[in-house]
Amino acid sequence: MASRREILRLLQSAAMECYPEMEARRIAEMIVTQRGGITLSDLIIEPNAPLDIPDIETICAELRAWRPVQYILGSAYFADMDLEVCSGVLIPRPETEELVEWIATDMPHAKRILDVCTGSGCIALALARRIAQSDVHGIDISSEALTIARRNAERYAPRVVFHEADALDDFSKIVGTEYDVIVSNPPYIPEADRRLMRPNVTDYEPHIALFVPNGDPLLFYRAIAHTAYAMLANGGRLYFEIYESLATEMTAMLRAEGYDVTLREDFRGKPRMICATRII
């Protein structure tokens, strides 16, 4: 049987065919700790202890083919949750955790929250856990994503309710009105930018959750902002995760829709989050 160190090196070598060395190392550590049932400290303290990962060759082949480690493992860590993910849902990102933190700090007493384009349910569940008394709902057009979101809710926030609905339609007909917080991380990447992205995203993550037409990159934002305007309670706020290259256009669109706008940068210094408050 191979040692922990040998398994780690094998996985890192496979990952380095696609990723830089440090990123490949982190990916290998994720697989060794989760599939091996050990902690990172265990790996560091006893690197020569035996380790058996029966499907190691399959995993290495998937890494060489750019398959995201989260899909290999079937889970993604987000806001102190180990969420189930598969190729039918977008992999939660660290910058989205920043959006959750902003909302939880900004609106700690929110009574009703709606997450539009919920995917794995990561935003809805994280807010339900952070804002204890809130009534949280999530919508998505994908029945596959909603199945995953409901399974995640069973583990982390059973009170969250999910609905199948189209963000481009009047979703208030399905979920009602008077929300203190409406939040969305909708599709926002123009099709033309697909060529700039790595295969671990373009070959595996759901395009329906990623891309928008080149001629109308604000398609989802505009539709959600328009519908949300009549759904927000007095003092309610609309939050978006945005594409950094669209920050100026987003601000102008939201102001034209009747909102006061606050733009915020993520931990990389990129404008990635917007809060829009309806001007009464």
User: Is 81 among the domain residues?
Assistant: no
- Token pair belonging to 167: 């963000």
Same structural domain for residues 164 and 61?
no
> How much is the average pLDDT of 54-78?
97
Same structural domain for residues 141 and 197?
yes
Identify the domain containing residue 203 by its residue range: 88-278
In the structure, what pLDDT confidence band is assigned to residue 188 with cuts at 50, 70 and 90?
very high
CB-hemisphere CA count at 13 Å for 242?
Answer: 31
**Confidence at residue 1, expressed as pLDDT on a 0 to 100 scale:** 79
pLDDT in tens, 206-234: 999 999 999 999 999 999 999 999 999 99
Burial label, 191 (beta-carbon count in 10 A; 0-12, 13-18, 19+): middle
Dist CA 27 CA 31 (whole Å): 6
Same structural domain for residues 241 and 125?
yes
The structural domain count of the chain equals: 2
Q: Which residue bears the tokens 């040692």?
A: 3
pTM for this prediction? 0.95
> How much is the average pLDDT of 81-90?
96
